[in-house]
Amino acid sequence: MIYMLRLVPALERLSLGIASPNALSMAFFQAFTVREPNVDNAFDMVRSLSQTIAPSCPSLRSLQLRYRRWLRGPDKKALIAVFGDIMASRNPKKRLSFKLSLSFDEAPMSSWSIGPTRKFLHLEPRFFTKGHVELMLGISTPRGVIPISGALPLDSVVPLPFKEAEYLGLWDFSSSTSAEFSFTHEHMELMVYNYVRPPLPPSLPCILPLFSALRVLVMERVNPLFLSGHTFYKLERCRVVKPPVSFLPSPSLFTETETPVCTRVDIDDPYLLATFKLPQIREMALDFSHPELSTIWEKHIAVNVNLSGLTLLHMKKWPPNGDLIPILRSLQFLVTLIISSQLGAVSFRAFLPMDANGTSGLKRTNSEGQRLDLLCPRLQSLQIEGQDPSLERELTPILKDIVDHSPCRECVSLEGLHFF
Amino acid sequence: MDWYSLDLVWQENPLPPGKADLIPVEILSEIFLLIVKDWSGYREDLMLVCRRWHAIMLSTPGIHSPLTIRRATQKEVVQAFVQGTKTHLDVRVDMNDETDGSDFNAENFLACFMAAAQAASRWTSLNLISPPPLGEYTDLRIWLPLVHLESFKVARGFGGFLGPIMTAIRSSAPPNLTSIEIEDLAAVLYLVQPAGLHITHCLTTLKIHLFKRVGIPVDILPHLHRVEFFEARNLCLPFYPPDAPLPLNNTLRFLHLKSVSVQWMAGHVFPALETCRITFPHHVDTIQALQPVTMPSCYFLTYNSNDLHPLAHFYLPPLSELEVKSGEWNTWRGNRQLAILYPIVTAGAQSLTALHLDVNCRSGC
């Protein structure tokens, strides 16, 4: 077949119906690698392939592969890697001009687009498709990460052919979607459905190969209930934001989610974060607008999350005059604090030296002989996002106190106080 | 909301005149005609702009107005619509609207249809989308001649409703009727009766999509004198002798056959055929080296069959798009079938821009 394809140099669209991943060899697909990729996507293996095999179909703009059957066993990463190499090598400066897509007879309505091999994968939705949930997977290969993206129709069960992806991104734009994974006889399926329907019971705590392989998880506007009770052995980064408006979290909904090596989380819902066991956490972002946040923080988050290891905290939607002291008191090793809010004077006092009772020492007329403690003594960067410039004038005296007094304690300097 | 109800709303709530009202009716009519000619989808948008535009659209003879009869449609609405317009009408019968809670009323339906038939001489298209429940429609009559009818579509299941319609079409349809799409075998049989052949002779577009294959041969091909677009699905054709006069061979530009005999194509030349789609052909063994199919103008070919060997006897120019699918499950035989494509693909070396292959094979073949 490859010999025949070499005789049609004008070919722009090629669609192949293939019985299984074993039907056409990797050498067949490697012949579509037309030249060396650019510097960002340079991989030695690709270079050697392009030197040894003459390129096929140089004018090709679309390669569609439709498999009647896919693998039930472990993922065939070597084949996916070749797909990524084809994408990386084909006109790398204008990647949109070439498209490689996979589809499967089991789910004829869904198609997967392969992206070029990258050193780093930033999970983000491609485009909005009405009535669909955007999904992106990333598969690690020795030469980098290969993004695979697709749009899954709502209220459908779609086979997930890539069971051991390390990256998973799920985005919905209807704000009412739930997801559920199932795994039976080496076959994994994802069901996405509208939240107005009665939710399915959460996944049984079986070992999903996807959950065991995931290193990065990003979800936006998707009900996170399906995460509950699972163990993500390799998960390093997790972002679960903007849960559906119809999603009403409560502690009873969740069971503990184990993430033994996770170092960075960005989770809007405090109840969800409270169920995450995070012994290795380093960086955390949380929506602090929940009315019961202080209780959840003290009773659950402080217990499950190893706050002593936290070096970066992003406080989203912090109440303007909320008391930061109970939160910051447990963060002794915090280096960077980002607050997305219009802070009032009450909140700012947390950054001033204080005595054992939590009273700011600067208020005292005579502080001689008093040992004043400083919250977050290692804090080096304080970034405040969304501050109203007109309020800055009113807050100038207290800000001056913060800058003046912070460096004098524990010999740690507050290097940055930034407003955005 | 239908046009009749909308008009009532506008009459009760008139809007003050704007600058657009200064444009003369004749000029707006011309503009609307040009728009609707190229983008018929804008017809309803234009009618919804204001009362004046709505009235102009309905009074411009060259613009067709859609008239749909559903379960919920009332006779008075149809009568008011027919009497309030001078335009040609695109009539549709669609009874598949149970979801709005309307029960079918045979008497009301018949009255609606007869009200629409009062303007039968203004019908340009008749589209029978979904049938009314089974019943007797012997009282149905279309008295006025269908002098402007250009296209006729009928889905399956219209049963007794079909007879009076086909009788009216056969008796009064003009040569303007050039496009027919049929999903009902009974309607096809009407076309091949002597009284209906004058219609068949004039057709340029004929689509026959039967739900299932019935073993009644329909000898329609010799009567297609002008047909350019021919689609047939599950149609049983008779065997034609090699020298049978088939005028469509010279006029066909687009051919789509699915589960239909290709015996009539064997040994013939199709000089004007540009696009050819053949899926699950019957009697394919009649296409042989001594009876090849020659399509000198074809640039798009789809062939879907378990056996690709007859493709070797298709004489084709360099194609720009080729789509081939084989149901052969054996890889070894699949590889051999793929080899059959080699001459066709290589002939299109400089022109072939799209290739769709679905053949069970292994790389290295």
Half-sphere exposure for B33 (CA within 13 Å, toward CB): 12
What per-residue confidence (pLDDT) applies to B27? Answer: 92
- Rounded Cα–Cα distance for residues A115 and A125 (Å): 13
- Reduced to 3 states, what is the DSSP secondary structure of residue A239? strand
Mean pLDDT of chain B: 86
Nearest to A1 among B331, B354, B365 (CB): B365
How is chain A split into domains, by residue range?
1-109
| A312 and A286 Cβ atoms separated by less than 8 Å | no
pLDDT at A125: 79
Q: Which of A4, A13, A15 sits opposite B345 (nearest CB)?
A: A4
Q: How many helices (H) and strands (E) does chain A have?
A: 11, 21
The contacts of residue B117 (CB under 8 Å, 6+ apart) are B141, B142, B143, B144
Q: Are B94 and B66 in contact (CB under 8 A)?
A: no
Q: What pLDDT does A357 receive? A: 58
Contact between A384 and A341 under an 8 Å Cβ cutoff? The reply is yes
What is the biggest distance separating any 2 CA atoms in chain A, rounded to whole angstroms?
92
- Count other C-beta atoms under 10 Å from residue A45's C-beta: 16
Query: What is the Cα–Cα distance from A263 to A332, expressed in whole angstroms?
Result: 17
Enumerate residues 289 to 348 of chain B having a beta carbon within 8 A of any beta carbon in chain A: 323, 325, 331, 338, 341-342, 345-346, 348
Q: How far does CA B140 lie from the centroid of its chain?
A: 25
Interface contact A16-B358, CB threshold 8 A: yes
- The C-alpha of B321 sits at a distance from chain A's nearest C-alpha, in angstroms, of 9
The two tokens of residue A114 are 């392969």
Q: What is the pLDDT of residue A47?
A: 46
Amino acid letter, A12: E
Residue type, A169: G
Q: Which of A209, A193, A135, A144 shows the shortest CA–CA distance to A168? A: A135
- Contact in structure between A83 and A114 (CB atoms under 8 Å): yes
Which amino acid would we find at residue B88? H
Do B94 and B153 meet the contact criterion of CB atoms below 8 Å apart? no
- Confidence at residue B66, expressed as pLDDT on a 0 to 100 scale: 84
Residue-wise pLDDT tens for chain A (420 aa)?
A: 777 888 888 888 999 998 888 888 888 888 888 755 444 444 444 444 444 444 677 788 889 999 888 766 676 778 888 888 888 888 666 545 888 999 888 776 678 888 888 888 888 877 777 778 888 999 988 888 999 988 888 777 888 888 888 999 988 876 667 777 777 777 777 877 775 555 555 555 567 888 888 999 999 888 888 888 888 999 999 999 887 766 666 666 667 888 999 999 999 888 888 888 999 999 999 998 888 888 888 888 888 888 888 999 998 888 877 777 888 888 888 888 888 877 666 677 666 666 555 555 444 444 444 444 567 778 888 887 776 666 666 667 776 766 666 544 443 334 445 554
Whether A25 sits inside 8 A of B331 (CB atoms) is no
Mean pLDDT of B99-117: 80
Contacts A4 to B, Cβ<8 Å: 338, 341-342, 345-346
Nearest to B353 among A10, A24, A66 (CB): A10
Which one has a higher pLDDT value, A198 or B238?
Answer: B238
Tell me what pLDDT residue A409 has. Answer: 43
Q: Is the dihedral of CA B133, B136, B140, B146 positive or negative?
A: positive
Instruction: Give the residue from chain B lying closest to A59, CA to CA.
Output: B353
pLDDT of residue A402: 67
Residue A7 confidence (pLDDT): 82
B306 contacts in chain A (CB < 8 Å): none
Looking only at the bridges linking them, the beta strands covering B314-315 and A312-316 are unpaired
CA distance B257 to B123: 30
CB contact under 8 A, A28 and B363: yes
* Cα(A243)–Cα(A100) distance, integer angstroms: 32
For residue B175, give Cα distances in angstroms to B73, B144, B147.
32, 16, 9
pLDDT the model gives residue A46: 46
Q: Could you give the percent of chain B with pLDDT greater than 90?
A: 36
Q: How far apart are CA A298 and CA A303, in angstroms?
A: 7
With CA atoms as reference, the chain A residue closest to B339 would be A1
Query: A16 CA to chain B: closest CA distance, Å?
Result: 5
Question: Could you say which of B350, B354, B363 has the minimum Cβ distance to residue A12?
Answer: B354
Does the beta carbon of B359 lie under 8 angstroms from any beta carbon of chain A? yes
Quick one: which of B341, B308, B306, B303 has its CA closest to B327?
A: B306
What residues of A are in contact with residue B325 (Cβ under 8 Å)? Answer: 17
Q: What pLDDT digit, counting tens, does each position of B25-37 carry?
A: 899 999 998 988 7
User: What are the C-alpha distances in Å from A246 to residues A20, A180, A203, B181?
Assistant: 41, 17, 20, 48
Local structure of A32: helix, strand or coil:
coil
| Least Cα separation, residue A262 to chain B (angstroms) | 43
Cα separation of A24 and A63, whole Å? 14
In the three-class reduction of DSSP (H, G, I as helix; E, B as strand; rest coil), residue B35 is classed as helix
Whether residue B239 is predicted with pLDDT greater than 70 in this model: the reply is yes
- B292 vs A163 pLDDT, higher one: B292
Dump pLDDT digits (tens) for B202-212. 999 999 999 98
Q: What are phi and psi of A283, to 5 degrees?
A: -130, 135
What is the DSSP code (8-state) at residue A115? -
Residue keyed to tokens 């035989």: B333
Residue A95, classed as helix, strand or coil, is helix
Task: Provide the 8-state DSSP code for B138.
Answer: T
Q: Which residue has the tokens 């602090």?
A: A288
> Confidence class of residue B6 from pLDDT cuts 50, 70 and 90?
low
Q: Which residues of B83-96 are buried (b: 16+ CB within 10 A; e: fewer)?
A: eebebbbbbbbbbe
More confident residue, A407 or B127: B127
Q: Fill in the amino acid letter for A7.
A: L
**Which phi and psi (to 5°) does residue B79 adopt?**
-60, -45
Burial of A196 (0-12, 13-18, 19+ CB in 10 A): exposed
Burial A206-217 (b: 16+ CB within 10 A, else e): eebbbbebbbbb
Contact B354 A1 (CB under 8 A): no
The two three-digit tokens of residue A165, written as one number: 């992806």
Output B115-119 pairs: Cβ under 8 A, ≥24 positions apart: B115/B75, B115/B78, B115/B79, B115/B82, B116/B67, B116/B69, B116/B78, B116/B82, B116/B89, B116/B91, B117/B141, B117/B142, B117/B143, B117/B144, B118/B79, B118/B82, B118/B144, B119/B82, B119/B89, B119/B144
> Is the distance from CB of B152 to CB of B162 less than 8 angstroms?
no
What is the nearest CA distance from B174 to chain A, expressed in angstroms?
44
Amino acid at B214: V
Taking contacts as CB-CB distances below 8 angstroms, the residues of chain B near A2 are 363
Tell if the CB–CB gap between B352 and A19 is shorter than 8 Å.
Answer: no
- Ordered alpha helix ranges (H), A111-268: 209-213
Q: List, in order, residues 6 or more apart from B26 with CB less than 8 Å away.
A: none
CB atoms within 10 A of CB A127: 7
